[in-house]
Amino acid sequence: MQDLLFFIIDILKFALTLLTYAIIIRAVLTWFIPSTDNYLSRVLYKVTEPILASIRGFLPTVGMFDLSPIVAILAIQVLQNFVLDYIAKILLGIP
């Protein structure tokens, strides 16, 4: 049972890593290809927009800069490095 939980934690970490890369690629693509006319931009938009839109809801705008990708990546890193690792330590019985 413990191995299954560690496997699930590893899958979650991998998915969060992929999400981080998707956010980074989307942010870089908006500098070069601002429209969503191509397939990659549409896929990245559909994957990342629910997260970024929810962050934009409470994050104040800073001129023309969208800081929601930075906040999203920081939140993902906290989730990966602290929350999931803490759960893994609890499963191992490490205080």
Q: pLDDT digits over 62-80, tens only?
A: 888 889 999 999 999 999 9
What count of other Cβ atoms lies within 10 Å of the Cβ of residue 26?
A: 20
Statement: residue 1 has pLDDT above 80 = no
Q: pLDDT digits over 10-62, tens only?
A: 899 999 999 999 999 999 988 888 777 888 889 999 999 999 999 999 988 78
Comparing CA positions, the residue from 59, 36, 58 lying closest to residue 46 is 36
